[in-house]
Amino acid sequence: MSRTLDRGLTLHLPLLLYVVFTLLPFYSMLMLAFHAGGQVTATFHYLPIPFSLQHFRTLFDEDSFLPYLRNSIVVAVATVIVDIPIAVLTGYALSRFQFRGKTTFMLALLTTQFVPASMLIIPIFIVFKDLDLLDSLLGLVLINATFELPFAAILMRGFVSAIPFELEEASMVDGCTRFQGVLRVALPLLRPGVVAVAAFGFVGAWNNFLFALFLISDQNLYTVPVGLSYFLGEFNVDYAALAAGGVVAVVPVVCVFALIQRYLVGGLAGAVKG
Amino acid sequence: MPAVGRPALMAGSERAGGARRRRRRAWWVPYACLAPAAALLLIFVLYPVLSVFWYSLQSYNPTKPYLNAFVGLGNFQQILTQDPLFRQSLWISVKWVVCEVVLQFCLGMGLALILNSTFRLRGLARAVVFSPWAVSGVAVTAMWTLMYNPFGGMFDTILKSTGLARTPVQWLADTHLVFGAAVTAELWRGVPFFAILLLAALQAIPEELYEAARVDGASRVRAFVRITFPLLRDAIVLATLLRAVWEFNNVDVLYTMTDGGPANLTTTLPLYIANQAIQYHNFGYGSALTVVGFLILLCFAIVYLRLSRFGQEI
């Protein structure tokens, strides 16, 4: 009896409270987004009754949110496509080769985790102006890819190290070149790692706000976070449409999160520790 | 039979020898593998970091090219002697970082300990508790602004229906409440980071240590103080340092939720820099502020690692 009480007080109760704290913001947003009323008043509802999708219609028809969504998808997917081959190459080199400057490079990768992106917007803006990358989704992809890369590479190094080198050696003895060995033996085994790294990169690029805000001024190129931030800045906020926009911003990352959450504990910790 | 076997064997050894030769000759292969990553980092991280020092010595405003000039340490002189907003924003940054890191650490530690024990639906509980980690700063603002809305937001509805408040509470406009309101929203997103890192570190501690402590009659609190905490020290130091730097630079939530207001009460140093850049185009002055911020962070990191005896034997 006292053991049950003890577990209840030290485990179940605090956990339950924290789960409620975590879910409340999601809950209040979903109720507002799917409830028929509430454009102006934004009254909180316990249940989405009467149910309606009209706020999403408002969002996409009147507030032209669709291009933002398209831009966000393009940027996030392209960031992943740019990052994956580079991360695989970097991770492979750091895991399999011994060479001069390796420790320095590892250290540089770790140091970037301490480099504040938000404080670098001024010089990055100037570099972008010189390279004619302002107001282009390509520029946004490159800067996101750069800032997601160190973490992706460190993570990938761990995944490569987990594959026994003997497998590649065996393929080379059987007549493969080293490149073929990597392509036919290591890469298929690396697939879960690639999925995890891709998912981390996607979440990072999808959520990025400051670069998109600062480096893009053409409204047709806004991403979801920037579009959402202009909603928030409006004097008469349409709270229900804001909630719908929030749902659009959160749903993709929550799906991706479900995919990678089992890598979080090992992956994130491993990358931070190096 | 041997006649068939021999050429195959020879071919094999020849190939193996070839591979060895290739490997010896190909010293440049690892460098070629690192080249794309190095190129991106050089152009978009190292060059900007270095150039910010150069720009900090300039008066540089792209909208007023006639004022652009080399001003030496003039920007720094202005920051340190004539800029009350710099001092105020630095103080708010310190308050913001201390509140966030301490609260996130305490809650994250508690959660990690809970999630490390065995119970039913543990996987689901972990997934739910970690989920805010994936939510963007702007979406955090959207969610919490909806809840803070003084006219019918969730808090307002609950306060009214329980009779705790008769007039609407202006969470984000009241000078006494705004800082705490912003801290809470960011806390919601930040706790999972600590919970994840500390849980990983907890899983590395062998169970036998706790069993031995139990045999010796140590209480749970004592086991935590004597075993868990010392073994987690490096993970804690690294996580808190990383988070302190991250929270120092975090602008997403504050920029969208309060935009530094009311009365600059939530203007942190990076937000001040961002506003200098975005609103006033003072790139030179903003760069000088950035350099000052860098130096403060660097000093903090060195002192923190020294004081915490990071990486030393226990």
Residue B65 or residue A250, greater confidence: A250
pTM score, whole prediction: 0.85
Q: Measured at the alpha carbon of residue A143, what is the angle toward residues B190 and A118, in degrees to the nearest 5?
A: 45
Distance (Å, whole) CA B294 – CA B178:
27
Cβ-contact B189, B230 below 8 angstroms = no
pLDDT class of B17 with cuts at 50, 70, 90:
very low
Tell me whether the omega of the peptide bond preceding residue B7 falls within 30 degrees of 0, making it cis: no
| Choice among A78-82, B81-85, B218-222 with the minimum mean pLDDT | B218-222
Q: Up-side HSE of residue A135: CA atoms within 13 Å toward CB?
A: 6
* Token pair listed for B188: 């919601």
pLDDT at A150 over 50: yes
Residue of chain A nearest B144, judged by CA positions: A25
Taking one residue from A and the other from B, the number of pairs with CB-CB distance under 8 angstroms is 286
Across the interface, which of B41, B62, B193 has its CB nearest the CB of A146? Answer: B41
Mean pLDDT of B202-217: 86
Nearest CA to A273 out of B102, B243, B191, B197 is that of: B197
pLDDT class of A80 with cuts at 50, 70, 90:
very high
> In Å, how far is B54's CA from the nearest CA of chain A?
10
In this predicted structure, what is the pLDDT of residue B221?
A: 85
Nearest CA to A169 out of B16, B22, B21 is that of: B16
Q: Quick check: B277 and A122 CB within 8 A?
A: yes
Long-range pairs, A131-140, Cβ under 8 A, ≥24: A133/A215, A134/A215, A134/A216, A134/A217, A135/A215, A135/A216, A135/A217, A135/A218, A135/A221, A136/A221, A137/A71, A137/A74, A137/A75, A137/A78, A137/A221, A139/A215, A140/A75, A140/A211, A140/A212, A140/A215, A140/A216, A140/A221, A140/A223
In this predicted structure, what is the pLDDT of residue A268?
A: 64
Residue A49 or residue A227, greater confidence: A227
| Choice among A71-75, B19-23, B258-262 with the minimum mean pLDDT | B19-23
In this predicted structure, what is the pLDDT of residue A141?
A: 96
Share of chain A above pLDDT 90, in %: 35
Token pair 């004539």 is at which residue?
B82
Share of chain B above pLDDT 70, in %: 91
pLDDT class of A235 with cuts at 50, 70, 90:
low
Q: Quick check: A25 and B143 CB within 8 A?
A: yes
Q: Quick check: B51 and A126 CB within 8 A?
A: yes
In this predicted structure, what is the pLDDT of residue B141?
A: 92
Calculate the alpha carbon distances from A158 to A94, A153, B27, B266 in Å: 9, 9, 23, 40
Residues of A in contact with B257 (CB under 8 A): 232
The per-residue pLDDT of chain A, averaged, comes to: 85
What is the DSSP annotation of B72-104?
A: TTHHHHHHHHH-HHHHHHHHHHHHHHHHHHHHH
pLDDT at A5 over 70: yes
In this predicted structure, what is the pLDDT of residue A10?
A: 80
Residue A258 or residue B268, greater confidence: B268
Longest alpha-carbon distance in chain A: 72
Residue of chain A nearest B276, judged by CA positions: A122
Residue of chain A nearest B132, judged by CA positions: A22
Distance (Å, whole) CA B87 – CA B80:
8
Mean pLDDT of A236-258: 85
Residues of A in contact with B146 (CB under 8 A): 25, 28-29, 32, 42, 239, 242-243, 246
Cβ-contact B236, B183 below 8 angstroms = no
pLDDT class of A133 with cuts at 50, 70, 90:
very high
Token pair 């940027």 is at which residue?
A75
| Choice among A1-10, A178-187, A240-249, B89-98 with the minimum mean pLDDT | A1-10
pLDDT at B224 over 60: yes
Residues of B in contact with A242 (CB under 8 A): 142, 145-146
Residue B185 or residue B165, greater confidence: B185
Distance (Å, whole) CA A220 – CA B288:
33
In this predicted structure, what is the pLDDT of residue A246?
A: 92
In this predicted structure, what is the pLDDT of residue A164?
A: 86
Mean pLDDT of A109-133: 86
**Does the beta carbon of A217 lie under 8 angstroms from any beta carbon of chain B?**
no
**Does the beta carbon of A180 lie under 8 angstroms from any beta carbon of chain B?**
no
pLDDT at B163 over 70: yes
Residue B314 or residue B6, greater confidence: B314
